[in-house]
Structure 1
Amino acid sequence: MKELDVIDSRRVPGLAGLYLARLPGGDTGPLSGEGERLVEFVDTVEPGVPKTEKWVLMVSTQLGCPVGCAMCDAGAMGFHGDLSAREMLAQVRRVLDDNPDLDPASHPKLKIHFARMGEPSLNPAVLEALELLAAEFPFPGLMPSLSTVAPAAPAAAEFMEKLIAVKDRHYSGGKFQLQFSLHATEAADRRELVPVPVWDLAAIAAYGRRFVKPGDRKITLNFALPEGAALGTGTIREFFDPSLFLVKVTPVNPTWRAGLTGTAYVWNEVPPELASAAAALEGAGFDVILSPSAPEEIEAATSCGQLWAAAMKERASAGHARAAGAPGGASRLPFDRSHCALLVVDMQRFFLDEDSPAYMPGAAAALAKAAELARAFRRAGRPVFFTVHAHEDPEKDGGLMTRKWKKVCLAGTPAAQVSPELDPREGEVFVKNRYSAFTNPALERRLRELGVDSLVVAGVKTDLCVESTVRAAFDLGFSCLVAADAAAAARDGQHRASLAAMARGFAAVGTTGAIIGELAVEKNEVLSGV
């Protein structure tokens, strides 16, 4: 039986080859309607370095990932199983076979990076793969590389202990690269970005003292810093020995997930505050690597956290909705597609313009999905409505809203305009000055006039105006389906918690792609999340 079957691929001349492969055993896979076991892997280079000098293969170790980092699309898929050691090596063999002009036996640096999809330390088969790799490719330039967030789990602890022995046996003398993806030095900040229990800094420092032997490469401490986040130079100096650890700082690539969480931060020139922090660490004896965004890598989707294949992006979107709590826990509501309408809440310039005091960076991705929904509903001949939150006179119509929120949007100003990407039309926009869209009674009247009894709801902020609107709609007898990827909150944790709350008692939760696909289905099918 073939260990993998490449079903799609893309070549980016001079930079990368990207592969989508089907693995055996997926007929009854864990993804309902998506039972195929699919993985991505990448044949790439380091920008500016010829492939004849450094060749990089990015290998997947799991189907999705159980960690779910705030900037990683593979994690948005959820976890659906481990790859075997032979399935990992099959990815390597395929890339080598596709490069007949390069001889891996004599290549000066052939880096096999276990980092495309999955948390390697939670799959013991990675250790077997490292053993098999050394046996099958005993080449002087071979250099495996492994990135981990250091999960605080017994399985990961056992893995990391065994990794020391594997490295010493096969890859001593600088032939192995280990990276801890920290992303922050403060525990609370790490939890925001890496939402699983992880080793603390003292544990990582202690491990480094046992892992690094004379002649070995230093362990990399990687920080993908959101905008405004500090590097924590004092903490790094306090815990880590510069003879054992080096520091690498990268941008947060603009993945779909990073767009939802508002963590994306791309820089081509090193920010001054980061340059200053790097200089302080170098003064303390640390090697520091500052790795700016490479536009060609981002465009090709070879960068860390990205997925390139459409099938995988759709799985990430669907997985995000599942993680919000819809499957199994959502209220089962009658949803009539022939009597449904789209309601987009507060997708206005007040929240979308970068120069606005209430700007939400994470709303851009949601806006794009809301625009897809609006176009699809118009094609299907179904009504589309929008709300804007605005005050005529905050002293008279502000109420508790203007006491709670100091940033006020005034009616009639550009900030109160629905985004032009949504193509709002006459009679479709309803102004409100409270959380719920239904505090403007004209909306309910219009829906009743059109015979609408079911709503697809999108917009911002998920945990405030969107959720308030859905709760009010439920009490008024409207069945709601929330488009998870067409909504956004200030923080991903707030977004996810709100989706889970709505799914538990007030709505179904789905994804834009699935909702659009469902528009043509006959009416009165019962939905529990798409």
Structure 2
Amino acid sequence: MTIPKLHGYALPGAADLPENKVNWAFEPERAALLIHDMQDYFIDFWGDGCPMIEQVIANIAALRQFCRQNAIPVYYTAQPENQRDEDRALLNDMWGPGINQHAERKSIVNALAPQEGDTVLAKWRYSAFIRSPLEQALKETGRDQLIICGVYAHIGCMTTATDAFMRDIKPFLVADGLADFSREEHMMALNYVAGRSGRVVTTGELLPAPQSKAQLRALVLAQLDEEDVPEDDENLIDYGLDSVRMMALAARWRKALNDIDFVMLAKEPTIDAWWALLSRRSTS
């Protein structure tokens, strides 16, 4: 009746994503970010030091930073403690008392703690829109795109995406910004949303350039055909990165650093060298 002990798995990358039925363009001026249920209580089920969860948190943090830099509203959902039986209702039958017995773990994980200007919504049901001012807040700020990340992919995140769709709000479900009970259930959520109610994307697709070396590595690995994983100082061409994909990366990163071009990437095609180029924006 409660959430089981959970185990990490390989997060889906660009090559794993289902085919989207829609090709909505991401428009930052029309978007808002929803960080869904990233409370200590829900993350505790993976135990301490789970690499998958650390990567999910890092990806969400990068999205949040990008949103703040671009005046994109940031919303959180969080289940309140001390919920009455009539508030939890059928959730009691399905999941038991939940966070009611763990009020000390109600906080959003420290690495994603809300900051001034963020909005925390009380979460009552799977969908973040139920008993919530989220829809009205989006309308009042002219936002009709919702970036969704957090836990759990096949429960609240998928349901919120579908509810957004039914309210004429375009959901963007971030495949590597989600975590779930299993990879199978994670992929089920992605397949459902891609085919029924939204667009499935990766963190890298939403960001003009990687916000960390770990994100750069994940983005590059998704471009490679080889099963072997290169070290950060190894030539990526030897691992199957061709000029067409390199030119596409250069064009994309030029949106963040206008002096990036194909020649610069091709001169030294390693993760170390590329991160040295991309990270200049944080020190300039």
TM range (shorter): 0.5 to 0.7
> d(CA) in 1 for partners of 2:69 and 2:101?
30
Task: Name the counterpart of 2:71.
Answer: 381
Say if 2:34 and 2:76, in contact at 8 Å, map to a contact too: yes
Q: Which has the larger radius of gyration?
A: 1
Count of aligned pairs: 206
Task: Name the counterpart of 1:420.
Answer: 110
Task: Name the counterpart of 1:482.
Answer: 173
Task: Name the counterpart of 1:507.
Answer: 198
Q: How does 1:383-462 map to 2 (within 5 A)?
A: 383-410=73-100, 413-426=103-116, 427-462=118-153
> d(CA) in 2 for partners of 1:355 and 1:261?
14
SS in structure 1 of the partner of residue 76 of structure 2: strand
* CA RMSD after TM alignment: 3.1
Q: 1:355 to 1:503 in 2, by over 3 A?
A: closer
For residues 97-120 of structure 1, what are the alpha-carbon distances to aligned partners after superposition, in whole Å with 9 as ceiling and x for unaligned? Answer: xxxxxxxxxxxxxxxxxxxxxxxx
> d(CA) in 2 for partners of 1:319 and 1:388?
32
Say if 1:374 and 1:384, in contact at 8 Å, map to a contact too: yes
The alpha-carbon deviation at position 261 of structure 1 amounts to 4.8
TM-score norm. by structure 2 comes to: 0.64
Q: 1:469 to 1:342 in 2, by over 3 A?
A: same
Q: 1:413 to 1:355 in 2, by over 3 A?
A: farther
The alpha-carbon deviation at position 360 of structure 1 amounts to 8.6
Task: Name the counterpart of 1:353.
Answer: 44
For residues 365-403 of structure 1, what are the alpha-carbon distances to aligned partners after superposition, in whole Å with 9 as ceiling and x for unaligned? Answer: 322211111111111221111101235334121110111
For residues 250-279 of structure 1, what are the alpha-carbon distances to aligned partners after superposition, in whole Å with 9 as ceiling and x for unaligned? Answer: xxxxxxxx84459xxxxxxxxxxxxxxxxx
Q: 1:372 to 1:391 in 2, by over 3 A?
A: same
Return the structure number with greater helix share: 2
Q: 1:421 to 1:477 in 2, by over 3 A?
A: same
> d(CA) in 1 for partners of 2:46 and 2:56?
18
Task: Name the counterpart of 1:365.
Answer: 55
Q: Which runs of 5+ in 2 are unaligned?
A: 210-251, 256-284
The alpha-carbon deviation at position 448 of structure 1 amounts to 1.5
For residues 13-63 of structure 1, what are the alpha-carbon distances to aligned partners after superposition, in whole Å with 9 as ceiling and x for unaligned? Answer: xxxxxxxxxxxxxxxxxxxxxxxxxxxxxxxxxxxxxxxxxxxxxxxxxxx
> d(CA) in 1 for partners of 2:110 and 2:131?
22
> d(CA) in 1 for partners of 2:96 and 2:102?
19
Q: How does 1:179-218 map to 2 (within 5 A)?
A: none
Out of 33, 53, 57, the position equivalent to 1:342 is 33
Task: Name the counterpart of 1:204.
Answer: none
Q: Which runs of 5+ in 1 are unaligned?
A: 1-226, 229-257, 263-315, 522-530
Return the structure number with greater strand share: 1
> d(CA) in 2 for partners of 1:515 and 1:456?
9
> d(CA) in 2 for partners of 1:506 and 1:331?
9
The alpha-carbon deviation at position 335 of structure 1 amounts to 4.2
